[in-house]
Structure 1
Amino acid sequence: MASGDLEGGGRNGKNRPNSYHQSSSPFYVENTEKQWTSWLVPMFVVANVAVFFVVMYINDCPNNNLGFEGSCVAKFLGKLSFQPLKENPLFGPSSHTLDKLGALNWDKVAHGKQGWRLITCIWLHAGVIHLLADMLSLVFIGIRLEQQFGFLRIGLIYLLSGFGGSILSSLFIQDNISVGASGALFGLLGAMLSELLTNWTIYTNKAAALITLVVIIAINLAVGILPHVDNFAHIGGFLTGILLGFVLLLRPQFGWVQRQHVPAGAHVKSKHKAYQYVFWVIAVVLVIVG
C-alpha cells in the first residue's frame, strides 16, 4: 500500500524554523516528540506466521485428505502440504481445521457460547496468499504508526478493531466461517483517517493527504466486494479504528509543543484545539455505546 508516504507528503516544516527534522523516512516528525522503535508490529507478523505453521501441521493434509477434491498440493512439505486447490485455492488448510482451531462461526458463538472465537479468528488465515496480503499490509501501515504513537496505542487499535470487525461479521455472515486479520488492518486505516482529521492543523497539503488516504481506503473496501471476502469484518474494523483514532491518536498543536521557547509572560496556546476535544468526547461516547 502507498499509505506509508501519506504524512510525508501532507506535512512539512515550511515557515516553522527548527520545528521539524527530516529523517531517512518520508515522515516529518516534530523533534520534541518521541520516536518509538517498532517491535510490536513485527511481533504480530511473527505470531501470525507461527500460527499458520501450527495450523498447517495440525491440518496434516497427507493423512486427513479424503481425496474427493484431488490430491494435496506441495506434497514434499509433508504434514505442511496444502489442501487440494479445488478445496482451497489460497494454498492453505481445510475449512474443518480452521473451524476446529477458532475460526469465526456465528452458530458456535451465539449458541455454543464460544465468544473467544471473536478474537482467535483474527490470528488465523485461509492460506499463504491470504497471509502474505495481510502481513504486507500490516508491515506497511503498522510500523509507521507504531513509530509515531508507540506500541500501546497501536496495539490497542489493532486488537480492538479486529474484535469490532468480528462482531459485525458475526451479525451478518451466519452461514460461513471467517478468518483473517483484515478487520484489524482496516482499523489501522480508519485510525489513520481520524488522525488526519483530528490533527488537521499540523498538516500542509491537507487536501492531497486526505484524497490519498480516501483512495487507499476505497480501493481496499472495493476488494471486499470480491467473492469469499468478508467485507463486514473490513467495515466493522474500519469504524472501530476511526473512533479509536480520535480517542488515542491526538497530537498537541504546534504552539503548545514549542512553549518552552516562548518568552516569559507571552501567551501560550492550549495543548489541544477545541474541535479536537469535541471529536474525542463524541468518539468516546460512540465507542462505549458500540
Structure 2
Amino acid sequence: MSSTLLKMGALSWFAISQNHQYWRLISCLSLHVGLIHLFVNIVCLLFVGIKLEQKFGSGKLGSIFFLSGLGGSIFGELFLEHRISAGASIPLFGLLGAMLSDLITNFTVYNLKCASFTVVVLLCMVNLTIGIFPDNDNFSHFWGFIFGLLLGFVLLMEPQYGWGSKIIPPDRNPQVVSKYNGYQHVLWVGAVILLIVGYIVGIILIARGIDGSSHCTWCHYLSCIPSPWWKCDAEQQKSGQASCTYVMSGGYMFMRCLNNQRTQLYNGLFSISSLKVLCGRLCK
C-alpha cells in the first residue's frame, strides 16, 4: 500500500525535502488509504461541504478547501520523518475548521448552533481516529484544521445586526450601524497575519529540508498509538529485530533502520528479498 501511494503522489519528507518534488504537497490531497477513509470523507463533505457551499458559494468553499489542504500538507511534511501520508482528509479538516470559525464569527446570526457544533466535533473525532492507522497523518489533519479556521475568519465573515434588512434593532440608526462587530475586525486582521506568516515559514522550512520530528519526540504519537493490531516505530525498535522503512523516488531508495536510526541512500531497483538483506546490513 505504501509504495503504491508513494508512486501516486503521497506526502514524503525525503521525496519533497531531498528530491524537491514539491508537487506532492498538492497531489496528496486527492489520495485515500482505503474504502473506510473514502466513505468518511464523503460523509464529511455531505454534512459540511454542501452546507458551507450553499451559504457562502463554491468560490469561497473551493479556496478554503485548497488553501487549508496546502497549509496542512506543508506542516505535515515537516513531521513525517520516514513515513508517507495520503492527505485527502487534510482539506476536509480545513472545512471543519472553517465551519467552526463560521460559528464563532457569525454567532449572532447563526441558526442551529448546538447541532452544527456537534457535527463538527463528531466528524473531527472520527477522522482523528482514522488518522492513527498506517499511511495517515493526524499532524497534517491538525494543521489543516488550523488553516481552515483562519481562512474561515477571513472569507466567511457575515454582517451582523441583519445589516440591510428589517432586523436592525429599532434603537439603532441604520446610517451609523457598522456592518461588522469589533471582534470580527480583530479576528480578520489576526487571521490574515497568521496565514501569511504560516505559509512563509512553512515554505522556508521545507526549502531548508528541516526534519521537525527530530525536534519533537512525542509528535509521532499523534499518528500512531500502540495497539495489539499494529506496531509503532518505538515498538519495532524495542523488539530488537531488523526493521526498516524505505522511500523510492526517481530511481533512488532512501532506507532508514528503526533500530539504530541509521540511514542510507541506494541507487537502482530492489526486490523484496534484497530489501530484507539491505535492511539487515543497515541495522547490524
- Please indicate, yes or no, whether the TM-score normalized by the shorter chain is above 0.5: yes
Q: Counterpart amino acid of 2:3? A: H
1:279 aligns with 2:184: no
Distance 1:249 1:152 in 2: 11
**Equivalent position SS for 1:255:** coil
Q: Counterpart amino acid of 1:283? A: A
Q: Number of residue pairs matched?
A: 196
1:156 aligns with 2:63: yes
Alignment of 1:147-226 (within 5 A): 147-203=54-110, 210=117, 213-226=120-133
CA, structure 1 residues 249+129, in 2 after alignment: closer, same or farther (shift >3 Å)? same
1:234 aligns with 2:141: yes
1:255 aligns with 2:162: yes
1:119 aligns with 2:26: yes
Structure 1 residue 181, shift from structure 2 partner: 1.2
Q: Counterpart amino acid of 2:41? A: D
Distance 1:177 1:225 in 2: 13
Distance 1:113 1:270 in 2: 48
CA, structure 1 residues 236+256, in 2 after alignment: closer, same or farther (shift >3 Å)? same
CA, structure 1 residues 141+261, in 2 after alignment: closer, same or farther (shift >3 Å)? closer
Q: Counterpart amino acid of 1:116? A: W
CA, structure 1 residues 246+207, in 2 after alignment: closer, same or farther (shift >3 Å)? same
Structure 1 residue 150, shift from structure 2 partner: 0.5
Instruction: Structure 1 unaligned segments of length 5 or more: list them.
Output: 1-93
Post-superposition CA distance 1:146-197 (Å, at most 9, x none): 1110011100110111111211221111212111311100000000111111
Alignment of 1:13-32 (within 5 A): none
Alpha carbons 2:168, 2:174 under 8 Å: kept? no
Distance 1:115 1:215 in 2: 33
Equivalent in 197, 207, 212 of residue 289 of structure 1:
197
Q: What is the RMSD of the two structures over their aligned residues, measured on CA atoms?
A: 2.6
1:129 aligns with 2:36: yes
Structure 1 residue 210, shift from structure 2 partner: 4.2
Distance 2:101 2:128 in 1: 17
Alpha carbons 2:33, 2:136 under 8 Å: kept? no
**Equivalent position SS for 2:85:** coil
Q: 1:69 matched to which residue of 2?
A: none
TM-score by length of 2: 0.62
Q: Counterpart amino acid of 1:103? A: A
Post-superposition CA distance 1:55-105 (Å, at most 9, x none): xxxxxxxxxxxxxxxxxxxxxxxxxxxxxxxxxxxxxxx432321221111
Distance 1:226 1:112 in 2: 26
Structure 1 residue 213, shift from structure 2 partner: 3.6
1:270 aligns with 2:178: yes
Alpha carbons 2:162, 2:168 under 8 Å: kept? no
Q: Counterpart amino acid of 1:186? A: F
CA, structure 1 residues 255+100, in 2 after alignment: closer, same or farther (shift >3 Å)? closer
Alpha carbons 2:37, 2:130 under 8 Å: kept? no
Alignment of 1:3-152 (within 5 A): 94-152=1-59
Q: Counterpart amino acid of 1:132? A: F
Distance 1:166 1:235 in 2: 10
**Equivalent position SS for 1:119:** helix
- Percent identity of the aligned residues? 51
Distance 2:21 2:111 in 1: 48
CA, structure 1 residues 133+194, in 2 after alignment: closer, same or farther (shift >3 Å)? same
